[in-house]
Chain A
Amino acid sequence: MNQQRREFLKRAGLAGLAGLGAVAGIIPTFALEKTDPSVFSNRPVPGATRWGMLIDTRKCRDGCDECVAACHRTHNVPDFGDSKNEIKWIWKAPYEKAFPTSSRQFGSRNLDGLEVLTLCNHCAEPPCTKACPTKATFRRWDGIVAMDYHRCIGCRFCMAACPYGSRSFNWLDPRPAIETYSPDYPTRERGVVEKCNFCSERLVKGLQPACVEACRGKAITFGDLNDPESAIRTMLAENETVQRKPELGTLPSVFYII
C-alpha cells in the first residue's frame, strides 16, 4: 500500500474514533452504566452483618409467582421448559417437601396443599462450601453463601451437599433459554452450578432483593439478623418461626411463619 494512503487511512480512523469519543461524553449508555461508588464501604468487616429473610406464608397468595418471575428475570435465569434441565433460584414447593421432617400426624388442615416459597437458606454452617474443592462457593463477610462462577468447575459436589436442593446445574448453554437479558447481571455458562445470591448485586446499591420488592402481599421481610433493632429481628421475636431441616445444624438464615 502506498505510504501516503496508509497515513491517510490511519488519520481517518483516528478521527473517526475521536468523533465516537466526543459522542460518548455526552450520551451515556444506560444499559451498562457506571455506578458512583462513593457510598460503598471500603472493606467490609466480616461477620458484622448477617443478612436474613423471613417468609410469612400466611400472606403468600396461592398461585402467585411474581417473586419467582422477578428473581429469574433480574438474574437471567434460563427457562428450559423441562424439569431435567430446570434452573431455579427461588421456587414454590409443597409444604411436605419443604419441611419433610416436621410432624404431620393429626396435622392442621391449613397445611393441606400449602405451597411454601423456598430458596437458598444462606446457612451459617453451609455444607456446600465445605464440599466445594475450588472455593467457588463460599460464605461471604455478610453471611451470604455466594458463588464465584469464575471458579466453578462444575463438579456438583455442592449440589450433593446441599440438603435443600437449592442449587441447579447448567447442563446446557443457558443463553438461548433466556427470553430477555437483564443488563444488570451476567448470565452463566454451560457447566457451572448456580443458585440464589440474596441479590448481593442489589444490596450493594442499597436496594431490597428483587423477590422482596416484587411481593405485593409484603410476605417477605429482609434484613440484618445481627442487628437486634432490625425489622426482621423484631418480627422473629414476636412470632413463632421455623427453619427448614433445623436438625441438620446448618443454621439457615431463612425463617418461616407457617
Chain B
Amino acid sequence: MLFCGAALAALVTITALRLDGGGAETVPAAGPAAVDSTVCIAPTEYMRSHHMKMLDKWRDEAVREGERTHVTPDGRRFEKSLKTCLGCHSNNRMFCYMCHLYANVKPTCWNCHLSPIEIPPQ
C-alpha cells in the first residue's frame, strides 16, 4: 500500500505555469497534492481533542491573513483548508458525523461547506 502511495505521489505534478488568458499575470499554479492517508498533520490523540481549535486557527489565518501554509514539526507542508482534512478523511464519509453524533455536538461547518456526504464520490 505504501508503495502504491509513493507511486501516486511521483505521478503528481507539483507546479505548472499558466499562460495568460485574458491578458493578465502569470502566477505559479498549485496542483493537487498526493493523498497519503497513513499520516495526519498531528498525532491522532491531539487531533481528536484539538481539531476544532486547529480548524478555527487555520480559518482565521487563511481567510484574514492570507497565511495558507501549515508546516508540521517534521517539515511537511499542508494547505490550511478544510479540503486538506477531507482529502483523506472523506474516504470514510461518516468520519465527522460518527463522533459528533455520539458526543451530541452540532458544529455549523456543514451549513456552508459541502460535507463528504453531499458530494458523491467520483
Contact = CB atoms under 8 A, between A and B. Distances in A.
B103 interface: no
B4 A26 contact: yes
A205 B67 contact: no
B26 to A, nearest CB: 8
A212 B22 contact: yes
Given A42-B69, A181-B118, 18 more contacts: A17-B92, A24-B35, A24-B88, A25-B37, A29-B35, A29-B121, A31-B122, A33-B35, A36-B79, A40-B68, A43-B65, A44-B66, A149-B112, A181-B114, A186-B112, A186-B114, A188-B112, A208-B22
A39 B92 contact: no
Contacts of B105: none
Contacts of B25: 223-224, 227, 230-231
By secondary structure, the A interface counts as loop
Interface string A184-213: 001111000000000000011111100011
A36 B32 contact: yes
B6 to A, nearest CB: 10
Given A32-B86, A221-B23, A204 B63 contact: no
B8 A37 contact: no
Interface size class of A (residues with CB under 8 A): 35 or more
A40 B79 contact: yes
B104 interface: no
Contacts of A187: 112, 114
**9 closest pairs, A vs B, by CB?**
A34-B87, A206-B29, A24-B91, A206-B27, A24-B37, A231-B23, A36-B33, A32-B86, A223-B24
A23 B91 CA distance: 8
Range for the number of chain B residues in contact with chain A: 35 or more
Contacts of A25: 1-2, 4-5, 8, 35-38
Nearest to A181: B114
Interface string A148-190: 1110000000000000000000000000000001010011110
Nearest to A219: B22
Contacts of B30: 35-40, 204-206
Contact of A32 (B24, B83, B112): B83
A37 B87 contact: no
Interface of B: 1-2, 4-5, 8, 12, 14-15, 18, 20-38, 59, 63-70, 77-79, 81, 83-84, 86-88, 90-92, 108, 111-114, 116, 118-122
B12 to A, nearest CB: 7
A32 B21 contact: no
Nearest to B80: A37
A34 B1 contact: no
Given A39-B28, A186-B113, A33 B78 contact: no
A55 to B, nearest CB: 10
Interface stretch (A80-88, A96-104, A134-142): A134-142
A237 B39 CA distance: 52
Contacts of A203: 27
